[in-house]
């Protein structure tokens, strides 16, 4: 099991992250609460590994907005396709019915 790191957050407080994963598990206002949270994460994962505090390291914000934009654009594209299908079906029905 990888170690759990306690590092400063770029904005405020302290982040708890796994050594092999850049995504923060949680954010806490104080270092002590972050260490306690890290110990709890280790205990939940079987107790292997150790808590490492890196006061000189700053955890950068995750760029998850990029993924959300992709889903919004895909959803709008899907909505446009559905609208086109409805319009074409309506026109075909209008032209073929007496």
pLDDT single digits (tens) 54-66: 988 888 876 665 5
Q: How confident is the model at residue 47 (pLDDT cuts 50, 70, 90)?
A: confident
49 and 74 inside one domain = no
46 against 91, higher pLDDT: 91
How many domains in the chain? Answer: 2
In this structure, the answer to whether residues 51 and 25 fall within a common structural domain is yes
pLDDT tens readout for residues 5-30? 999 988 889 999 998 888 888 999 99
Indicate if 27 and 44 belong to the same structural domain: yes
Mean pLDDT of 64-82: 85
- Residues 37 and 76 occupy one common structural domain: no
Angstrom distances, CA of residue 36 to CA of 1, 18, 24, 65, 85: 18, 14, 15, 30, 56
**What pLDDT is stored for residue 1 in this prediction?**
60
Question: Are 5 and 18 contacting, i.e. CB atoms less than 8 angstroms apart?
Answer: yes
- Are residues 24 and 70 part of one domain? no
Q: Which domain holds residue 70?
A: 63-98
What average pLDDT does the structure give for the chain? 88
pTM above 0.85, yes or no: no
Same domain, yes or no, for 68 and 45?
no
- What is the Cα–Cα distance from 91 to 96, expressed in whole angstroms? 9
Are 25 and 71 contained in the same domain?
no
Q: Does residue 68 sit in the same domain as residue 92?
A: yes
């Amino acid at each position: 099991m990888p170690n759990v790191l306690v590092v400063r957050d770029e904005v405020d407080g302290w982040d708890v992250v796994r050594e092999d994963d850049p995504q923060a598990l949680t954010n806490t206002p104080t270092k002590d609460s972050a260490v306690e949270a890290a110990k709890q994460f280790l205990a939940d994962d079987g107790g292997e590994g150790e808590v490492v505090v890196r006061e000189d390291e700053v955890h950068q914000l995750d760029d998850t907005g990029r993924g959300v934009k992709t889903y919004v654009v895909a959803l709008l594209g899907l909505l446009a396709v559905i609208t086109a299908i409805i319009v074409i079906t309506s026109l075909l029905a209008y032209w073929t019915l007496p």
